[in-house]
A = this chain, B = another copy of it.
Amino acid sequence: MTRSGHASDTAADNVDGGEGKTVAPKPYRLVETPGPLSWPELVAVDTWWRASNYLAVGQIYLMRNPLLHTPLVPEDIKPRLLGHFGTVPGLNLVWAHANRVIRQRNLNAVYVAGPGHGGPGPNACAWLEGAYAVLDSDIPRDIAGMQRFFHQFSFPGGVPSHCAPETPGSFHEGGELGYCLLHSFGAALDNPDLVVFCVIGDGEAETGPLAGSWNFNKFLNASRDGAVIPILALNEYKIANPTISARIPQSELVELMHGYGYEPIIVSGDDPSLVHQQMAAAMDTCMDQIAEFQRRARVDGDMRRPRWPMIVMHTPKGWTCPPWVDGKRIEGTFRAHQVPLAEARTNPVHRECLDLWLKSYLPEELFSEDGVPSPVILEQVPTLPMSLNPVANGGLLIKDLDLPDWREYAAEVKEPGQTTHEPTRVLGSWFRDVTKNNPHNFITVAPDELVSNRLGDILEVTGRDWQCEVGKWDVDLSPLGRVIEVLSETMCEGILEGYLLTGRHGVYTTYEAFIHICDAMFNQHAKWLDAALTVPWRRRIASLNYLLTSHVWRQDHNGFTHQDPGFLDVVANKSPDIVRIYLPPDANTLLSTYDHCLRSRHYANVVVAGKNPSPDWLDVNEAAVHCARGVGIWDWACHNDTPGHKPDVVLACAGDIPTLETLAAAAIIRDRLPNLRVRFVNIVDLFRMLPADEHPHGLSDAAFDAIFTTDRPVIIAFHGYPWLVHRLTYRRANHANLHVHGYREKGTTTTPFDMVMLNDLDRFRLVTDVIDRVPGLGEQAAALRQDMEDARFIARRYTREQGADMPVIANWVWPDAAFPTL
């Protein structure tokens, strides 16, 4: 790395960092250097950079006296110094140079800050661009606005220290690392004119999701999609450690990028006069290459995968901050990660150093006395600034989907349980036409499971997105495919999030157990949605729609590792304003549910549904009504549940397999205990179970009690871990009488019915539980109880010997399902 022309130059490096030594940075002298930038351009871009760095330092430290019009006193400085400076100068450098090419080429561009903890940087650039002035009348582009802008940063009731929904121009949550490149690619999909400047921290680059996401260039089409410029911010350090990328030979890093299909351009140095020219040249090269690739694809029709450019930006961590503090090297080291001068309020040496540091940016050149940015800065604001690009506030751009009438895709159901369908296959036929009707703003993502999950009908109208070579036996691939399949749950999630955050729609289908791979990503997206509701200028985006199938109760080919319904528990922890869980019991309820999900806004909708052939319970109208209610009594499955009488027992269920088993139990009871009053309840919308003041979908206590009674035993067969139902219902009057059968961790190889038996969710066990919970049933019930135990024993023995479920169970049909003779 060259080291000249800057306060932290060779001389500074050689300062003896002896005990207590604190050295402030000095203003650097910009000099004419060869490169694409004329002298005025060099000055302009450097001025922006200095201004944004000044504003970043101001946010971290100052609660008043923003332009140092009076000598700094302790009261000017925030009592809690929070934030991260280390990555800020790099973020600002990219922003400054992006603005140059945006103006020169009239680009539609957005900015993604992977090192989102450097929030002061993007905040500063947004302030310079006037975004705060537009979006928040309290923060104009003058000294009063600057004062409030500084004060609010990482201050109680203010804005977070990371990029967040509060950050103008950001659509990427800056808290958890690893997803910036995925969000960028997601934004670029179907946005042919968009350029995404994506800064990736060299720390973040070590995460699995980021490492995997380089591969998304195999799915980005130069004709259909916009461009992403990955900029690896190689500042060499994380919180305390050097980064891997910085400590391997540069040749390895170049080979790595080649291996991922990119052409890296190296920008390296710590002399602003030189680095600006390198960065300008790199930006020009990127834009030229992108333009040529897009022309080739769009004009020549050449769909071959380009070797997209990317930039390696190798500059010091904390560049321009104090080189030494208290005898410790700060600039260019891990110690610049957070707040270089930790005691600026209480330690006069630190405070003086802060004063000199701020003045090293020459604020008098940057802002007028009144805090208005200088003309050379204002002239650099593009017509469409990145901080005000509506792409980053996707709700401004979102269009309703053109949805075909789901009723026309419904299974014909004349009587409950007499026909079977594969629910996800029925849904897939509707998805096919959703895909066809919305060719530019709807995608389906899946980790190589689309067809496995019975959604293959979509492939009748589109292919699987693929920009690589095509092998002899490959099928259904297309460079313009609208299904994205890659064996990476994190890639699927991140791409879809980026697509949704920028104003489009989509569905993520995956195996239920493995959606846990995305727990953390879901959490962060949920937090984004929740926090965005509190930002007045944010608009609602499309919901994040999950279709979880190959679920816990259906793992014939797999086993214990594939059994985990716990994503529901993760989801239920998030804000009730944005989470929804649906467990449709059959094909038509699944259709109705998904129609609702694709119309909804700003939720995470989790839908769990089976892909195996299973009985149809409700016809199209019943399904619509049942889904609208979310929970309801199925009259046809009740027995003696006459108005004016309380039932003796309530049988309830949520999920497809639980519904099947509970109906089979109801049939047995009807046959063998004909005097029992049995109410049958099915739950589609899980949050109906919560009290009304806990969730917008929560049933009032009156409505809950009307269904579940206040004093009768309620046997609930539940798709997931049983305690989730208790967690939702513990405040209900009848909670003590709720007995939940669900999944518990037990690992052994089973058949499907074996599996429900193992978990006490089977029809026989449910009947037994009814007998045990309803008092005074007498000898008839005792005999039935014994029959149920015998039935379980026989059924279990049969699976052990035959390797399959007993036909009488596997082929059971409602409603003449009297208890089979065994």
Nearest CB in chain B to that of A804: its residue: B79
Interface string of A711-736 (1 = CB under 8 A from B): 00000000001011011001000010
Taking CB atoms and an 8 Å cut-off, the chain A residues in 148-185 that contact chain B are 154-162, 164, 173-178
From B261, B523, B745, A564 is in contact (CB under 8 Å) with B523
Segment from A269-277, A414-422, A428-436, A749-757 that makes contact with B: A749-757
Inter-subunit contact A208/B206 (CB<8 Å): no
Q: Which of A460-501 contact B (CB under 8 A)?
A: 464, 466, 468-471, 473-474, 477, 485-491
Asked, given contacts A212-B206, A485-B240, A487-B238, whether A164 binds B569 with beta carbons under 8 Å apart, the answer is: no
Contact B488 A206 (CB under 8 A): yes
List 6 interface pairs A-B (beta carbons < 8 Å), by A numbering. A156-B754, A175-B559, A239-B448, A240-B485, A247-B469, A255-B258
The 10 A-B pairs at the shortest CB distance, nearest first, are namely: A175-B561, A256-B259, A208-B208, A247-B468, A208-B212, A255-B259, A211-B211, A516-B520, A211-B212, A531-B747
Q: Are A451 and B206 in contact (CB under 8 A)?
A: no
- Asked whether, in the complex, the Cβ of B236 is within 8 Å of the Cβ of A248, the reply is no
Q: Are A513 and B176 interface neighbours, CB within 8 A?
A: yes
- For the complex formed, measure the closest distance between the CB of A236 and the CB atoms of chain B, giving whole angstroms: 6
In the assembled complex, A368 has its CB within 8 A of some CB on chain B: no
A328-383 at interface with B (beta carbon < 8 Å): 329, 332-334, 338
Within residues 496 to 543 of chain A, which ones have a CB less than 8 A from any CB in chain B? Answer: 513-514, 516-517, 519-520, 523-524, 526-527, 530-531, 534
Checking B208, B240, B260 against A178 with a beta-carbon cut-off of 8 angstroms, the contacting residue is B208
Contact across chains for A560 and B175 when beta carbons are under 8 A apart: yes
Q: Is A802 interfacial (CB-CB < 8 Å)?
A: yes
**Contacts A178-B208, A469-B248, A517-B520 hold; do A80 and B804 have CB atoms under 8 A apart?**
yes
In the docked arrangement, what's the CA distance between A526 and B560, Å? Answer: 11
Q: How far is the CA of A338 from the CA of B573 in the complex (A)?
A: 37
Q: Are A246 and B156 in contact (CB under 8 A)?
A: no
A63 within 8 A of B: yes
* Complex Cα–Cα for A207 and B213 (A): 9
Known A177-B487, A566-B570: A207·B206 in contact at CB below 8 Å: no
CA distance A177 to B448 in the complex (A): 12
A561 and B83 contacting across the interface, CB-CB below 8 Å:
no
Is A257 in the interface zone, CB < 8 Å from B?
yes
Listed in ascending order, the chain A residues whose CB lies under 8 Å from chain B are 63, 78-80, 82-84, 117, 154-162, 164, 173-178, 203-204, 206-215, 218, 236, 238-244, 246-249, 252-261, 329, 332-334, 338, 448-452, 464, 466, 468-471, 473-474, 477, 485-491, 513-514, 516-517, 519-520, 523-524, 526-527, 530-531, 534, 556-562, 564, 566, 569-570, 572-575, 721, 723-724, 726-727, 730, 735, 744-751, 754, 799-800, 802-804
Report chain B residues within 8 Å CB of A490: 207-208
Q: Which B residues lie within 8 Å of A486 (CB)? A: 206, 244
Contact A558 to B451, CB < 8 A, known contacts A244-B486, A255-B258? no
B514–A162 CB distance below 8 A:
no
Distance (whole angstroms) from the CB of A287 to the closest CB of chain B? 24
Chain B residues contacting A177 (CB-CB under 8 Å) are: 487
User: Chain B: which residue is nearest A329 at the CB level?
Assistant: B473
Within the oligomer, what is the number of copies of this chain? 2
B256 touches A474 (CB 8 A): no
Contact with A334, one of B164, B254, B473 (Cβ below 8 angstroms): B473
Set of chain B residues within 8 Å of A161, measured between Cβ atoms: 557-559, 749
A651 CA to B46 CA, complexed, in Å: 60
CB distance from A251 to the nearest CB of B (A): 9
User: Shortest CB–CB separation between residue A776 and chain B, in angstroms?
Assistant: 24
Shortest Cβ distance from residue A537 to the other chain B in the assembled complex, whole angstroms: 16
Q: What separation, in Å, do the CA atoms of A619 and B803 have in the docked complex?
A: 60
Is B156 a contact of A534 with CB atoms below 8 Å? no
Contact of A203 among B176, B333, B448, B450 (CB under 8 A): B448
**Residues of B close to A117: CB separation below 8 A:** 558
Contact A261 to B239, CB < 8 A, known contacts A117-B558, A559-B164 = no
Check B470 against A247 for contact (C-beta < 8 Å): yes
Residues of B within 8 A of A178 (CB): 208, 517
Which chain B residues border A207 with CB–CB below 8 Å? 208, 212, 487-490
Question: Which residue on B lies nearest to A219, using beta carbons?
Answer: B244
Contact between chains at B155 and A749 (CB < 8 Å): yes
Q: A330's closest neighbor in chain B, by CB?
A: B473
Residue of B nearest to A448 (CB): B238
| Contact indicator B448/A248 (Cβ below 8 Å) | no
| Contact, CB under 8 Å: A244 / B218 | yes
Are the C-beta atoms of A558 and B726 separated by less than 8 Å? no
| Contact pick for A261, options B236, B248, B260, CB 8 Å | B248
Q: Are B449 and A239 in contact (CB under 8 A)?
A: yes
Distance between Cα atoms of A473 and B332 in the complex (Å): 8
The answer on a CB contact under 8 Å between B213 and A156 is: no
Closest to A305 in B: B248
A514's partner among B78, B176, B208, B487 (CB-CB below 8 A) is B176
Tell me the bound Cα distance from A44 to B716 in angstroms.
59
Q: Is the CB of B256 within 8 A of A206?
A: no
8 Å CB contact of A745 from B162, B338, B570, B574: B574
Q: Is the CB of A803 within 8 A of B244?
A: no
**CB of A483, distance to nearest CB on chain B (Å):** 10
Cβ-defined contact, B517 with A176, below 8 A: yes
Min distance, Cβ A738 to any Cβ of chain B, angstroms: 9
Shortest CB–CB separation between residue A670 and chain B, in angstroms?
Answer: 30
